[in-house]
Amino acid sequence: MNINQRIEIICEIGKFLKNYLDEKYDNNKDHKLAEFEKIIIKTQSINPWFTDENIKVNLTYWSEKLTKTNLKQWLNKYDLNNNSRKNIAIIMAGNIPLVGFHDFICVFLSGHNSIIKLSNNDKFILPFLTDLINLDSDRVVYLDNMLKDYHGVIATGSDNTSRYFEYYFKNKNSIIRKNRNSIAILDGEESDCDLKSLSNDIFTYFGLGCRNVSKLYVPRNYNFDSFFNSIFSYKELINNHKYANNYDYNKAIYLMSEYKFLDNGFFIVKEGKEMHTPISTINYEYYDNISLLREKINQQEDKIQCIVSNIEFKGKVDFGETQNPSLNQYADNIDVMNFLLTI
């Protein structure tokens, strides 16, 4: 199977997802579309964070990215026709829908076989999509037990699990991903449009993704009024019982601990140095000098996935674009295709 054939196969997934989104509210679905909807409902019964809206955001993203034009533009710089076929293990997280899908398509398009260990939080959607394209049985294998007979591994987890991964895979070619968070650096000159777009960067997927903004850097004496006005469109999140439980719990902890924080009835803004924050909370930190802040950010580069700002920073992302990476924007800035081509 050459690279053009592999591209055609992946495009079929994009077309299917587009058809699903277009037909979602049409009772006259074909058999596969109706079956996929049952898979979505089954997934949601296990993981309530995967709401209709979050599923739609994710499937829309992939339906738009998986076109022949996008795939060829992405892959143009790689030599993918003469790669020897190896078995690549992929250990996937389950914090947002299809979070390991990019790793899978990298492995498939590079000509390798995938041995996939799914998260219990998202174990039905990807197998349905790979069954849909009728891959040979050795092209993709799903495992619940120990990995074996593999030549390389891509493992995504927390800082804690990464220590286990690093030990277990110490003799294998590997990409091991740890906790990362995204930040926004504001200067107080942002437009209402910028701040409304920032709210998408914060709240999409309930803030559970590594590309979600979980910390703000703001100039001293920054006025949060415009920020709070911009995020008000997400007020309905409080009607989600899991989100509301997290909000109530975190607010109670902050009150008992006598933390100073700002609160609008569904979201908490708290001063703090930590980048990682619990659901319904974002930390902020003041800065006085942008040059000193730049040095500080550079020192924490291995903890940051995205930087959102109008100020020029290395690899910065525009407001509202954290959940819309191009296919050549790799997690942790590690080129997965290059990795796969050197195994």
The CATH number covering residue 265 comes to 3.40.309.10
Question: In terms of domains, do 277 and 210 share one?
Answer: yes
- Give how many domains the chain has, as a whole number: 2
Note the pLDDT tens digit of each residue in 308-331: 999 999 889 999 999 999 999 999
Residue 329 lies in a domain: no
Question: In terms of domains, do 23 and 170 share one?
Answer: yes
Question: In terms of domains, do 64 and 119 share one?
Answer: yes
Question: In terms of domains, do 200 and 286 share one?
Answer: yes
Cβ 172 vs Cβ 155: under 8 Å: no
CATH code (residue 152): 3.40.605.10
- DSSP symbols for 128-156: HHHHHTT--TTTEEE-SS---S-SEEEEE
Residue 58 lies in a domain: yes
Longest CA pairwise span in the chain (Å): 62
How far the first Cα of the chain sits from its last, in Å, is: 19
Contact partners, residue 123, CB within 8 Å, separation at least 6: 43, 46, 94
Domain that holds residue 168: 3-179
Residue 206 lies in a domain: yes
What is the predicted pLDDT for the residue at 144? 86
Question: In terms of domains, do 28 and 112 share one?
Answer: yes
Which of the listed residues 158, 179, 200 is the one where a domain comes to its end?
179
Contact partners, residue 163, CB within 8 Å, separation at least 6: none
Q: Which of 12-16, 144-148, 217-221 has the lowest mean pLDDT?
A: 144-148
What is the predicted pLDDT for the residue at 30? 81
Which of the listed residues 179, 195, 212 is the one where a domain comes to its end?
179
What is the predicted pLDDT for the residue at 24? 66
Residue with tokens 């950010």: 297
Note the pLDDT tens digit of each residue in 154-211: 999 999 999 999 999 999 999 999 999 999 999 999 999 999 999 999 999 999 999 9
Question: In terms of domains, do 121 and 54 share one?
Answer: yes
**Cα distance between residue 214 and residue 219, in whole Å:** 17
Question: In terms of domains, do 8 and 112 share one?
Answer: yes
Question: In terms of domains, do 172 and 198 share one?
Answer: no
The whole-number average pLDDT for the span 243-269 is 97
What is the predicted pLDDT for the residue at 26? 58
What is the predicted pLDDT for the residue at 83? 78
Helix or strand holding residue 114 (H, E): strand 113-117
Residue 314 lies in a domain: no
Contact partners, residue 336, CB within 8 Å, separation at least 6: 102, 103, 106, 154, 175, 330
Contacts 24+ apart (CB under 8 A), 292-299: 293/185, 293/217, 297/183, 297/185
Residue 341 lies in a domain: no
Q: Answer positive or negative: Cα dihedral of 332, 334, 340, 342.
A: negative
**pTM for the full model?**
0.95
Q: Answer positive or negative: Cα dihedral of 40, 15, 133, 29.
A: positive
Question: In terms of domains, do 169 and 47 share one?
Answer: yes
Beta-bridged to residue 308, according to DSSP, are 184, 317
Residue 320 lies in a domain: no
Tell whether the model's pLDDT for residue 108 goes beyond 60: yes
Residue 165 lies in a domain: yes
Question: In terms of domains, do 267 and 125 share one?
Answer: no
Model confidence band, residue 28 (pLDDT cutoffs 50, 70, 90): low
Residue 315 lies in a domain: no
> Burial code of 4-13, b = ≥16 C-beta within 10 A, e = fewer?
eebbebbbeb
Question: In terms of domains, do 239 and 301 share one?
Answer: yes
Tell whether the model's pLDDT for residue 300 goes beyond 90: yes
What is the predicted pLDDT for the residue at 248? 98
Helix or strand holding residue 241 (H, E): helix 241-256
Which of the listed residues 179, 211, 243 is the one where a domain comes to its end?
179
Closest of 281, 278, 297 to residue 289, by C-alpha: 297
Question: In terms of domains, do 240 and 302 share one?
Answer: yes
Tell whether the model's pLDDT for residue 243 goes beyond 80: yes
